[in-house]
Amino acid sequence: QLKLVNPSQYRFEHLVTQMKWRLQEGRGEAVYQIGVEDNGLLVGLSEEEMRASLKTLRRMAEKVGADITVLREREVDYDSDVPRKITEVLVRKVPDNQQFLDLRVAVLGNVDSGKSTLLGVLTQGELDNGRGRARLNLFRHLHEIQSGRTSSISFEILGFNSKGEVVNYSDSRTAEEICESSSKMITFIDLAGHHKYLKTTIFGLTSYCPDFAMLVVSANTGIAGTTREHLGLAMALKVPFFIVVSKVDLCSKATVERTVKQLERILKQPGCNKLPLLVNSDDDAVTAAQQFAQSPNITPIFTLSSVSGENLDLLKVFLNILPPLTNSKEQEELMQQLTEFQVDEIYTVPEVGTVVGGTLSSGICREGENLVVGPTDDGKFLRLKVCSIQRNRSACRVLRAGQAATLALGPFDRSLLRKGMVMVSPEMNPTICSVFEAEIVLLFHATTFRKGFQVTVHVGNVRQTAIVEKIHGKDKLRTGEKAVVCFRFIKHPEYLKIGAKLLFREGVTKGIGHVTDLQAITTKENGLEESLAPGQLSF
């Protein structure tokens, strides 16, 4: 917008309607540039005009129930004696039908690169002491505290209120309070860096569907160990990523620069084709967040320290402005489909019963809804009822497509459930299969890849060993070759979709691809009818 000085009532109403539309399109967020003509010419406004324009913008925001924060100001050289400025303003309003905007960020990086410590500092709000105090609250098992290594997937939350201030555990808040006072929530998925736990890391990336990934690289060791592998995983699954160089307080400026140069060199390689953008100031952070969401080829790089707190604020500014990737139209289309919930975690909670955690990939799920879950080992689907829903540890009545949550199922028998199942609405008549075809690229294999080879296949939240039944048009595959391969699951049938991304591994063998064809087992014959025998009915 050029300027918004004392608009007439009609123009004011028009501007408010425009703001409403923009907020709806950006899922609750919009950035206004004041002092810029519609064709992008930087004209700038005098101090008085700018003050009046911001006042009008505040009135508009109040009218739609939004908050505004000034992101940055800049002086422009325009032919005049008066200094002229342009200002960028973030307008944020939580959509009426949900509590907060939600982004999921997966955290990757080599072992000992400081992933858990960085998350500890961001979410607890106090700096580390250099010996790992900040990460103690993130660990889930005793052996993790003793070895200092993450082996499971843990979730941490960081909130931003509508003014763009950080909301975390610092003022002895509980998770519920963070949810209530935030208008934007970032859920960090803390993954394991150690090679031994690679399958857990892959499971975290494929099943929790993160919007973005944060690759943490330690400044003093540079690109080592699993860093390249994690970078490759993010690229293979097409997750946009940004890079954080941690531990800059430990080493000289030259070492930090060397690590950054090393990263830039790798990102510019033909396989990556990324454009590195080093962030040194608030201005850079704002630009990085806007560009990053518009073109996935840009990779912002931050250099920071969890001990001295250097440049931590830049990362917070970046995360605050980072817009969601899907627009509201895509989400609405997903919500109109039938309900489908992926089961990623299963717990038993005292006095609640069986609880499943996961992501709703399509449709809407309400409390008290009747769904079917499966496939069981013999390919059946069992009926169940959703008793209650929780998102980020606070109760929630309705779950929408793309949101992660935990559902309480009451007295449902836990032994019937496993990771990789889906809960769908009964009218969906889901297709399950044991044999499927996929177009794959073999990324690395020591010898030749041929019929009868066994690999562990990851498709979304499904992971199971499968046998190579047939390679179409070839006898064997070597590293770097493409083919359509027919796989068969060893143990039980799974619910798959055509077009789903697929990763497989076995020792050093790795490959990626997507599902092209399914040999469906019809659920009518062995489906609901039998699973509703007396005694099996679970409500």
Same domain? 15 vs 84: yes
Res 327: pLDDT: 66
Same domain? 371 vs 268: no
| Tokens of residue 64, six digits | 């739609």
177 in a structural domain: yes
Name the strand (E) or helix (H) holding 54: helix 47-64
Region 17-31: mean pLDDT is 86
Res 188: pLDDT: 92
Q: Where are the alpha helices (DSSP H) in 220-327?
A: 227-236, 253-268, 282-294, 312-321
301 in a structural domain: yes
Task: Express each pLDDT in 351-405 by its tens digit.
Answer: 889 999 999 989 999 999 999 998 998 888 999 999 999 987 778 888 888 888 9
Which CATH number fits the domain that encloses residue 27?
Answer: 3.30.110
- The pLDDT confidence band at residue 531, using thresholds 50, 70 and 90, is very low
539 in a structural domain: no
Same domain? 25 vs 142: no
Res 514: pLDDT: 94
Region 509-519: mean pLDDT is 91
Res 533: pLDDT: 36
1 in a structural domain: no
Report yes or no: 373 and 423 within 8 Å, Cβ to Cβ.
Answer: yes
Same domain? 313 vs 353: no
Bond prior to 296 in cis (omega within 30° of 0): no
Which CATH number fits the domain that encloses residue 482?
Answer: 2.40.30.10
Residue in the structure block whose two tokens are 């390689």: 269
**250, 226, 245, 216: which is closest to 116 by C-alpha?**
216
311 in a structural domain: yes
414 in a structural domain: yes
Q: For residues 66 and 170, which has the higher predicted lDDT (pLDDT)? A: 66
Tally the domains of the chain.
Answer: 4
Same domain? 181 vs 302: yes
φ/ψ (deg, to 5) at 352? -115, -35
| Tokens of residue 346, six digits | 């299963």
55 in a structural domain: yes
Same domain? 309 vs 374: no
Parent domain of 200: 101-325
Among 174-183, 265-274, 345-354, the least confident range: 174-183
Angle, helices 9-25/328-335, rounded to nearest 10 degrees: 60
Query: Which SS3 state, helix, strand or coil, does residue 174 take?
Result: coil
- The pLDDT confidence band at residue 1, using thresholds 50, 70 and 90, is confident
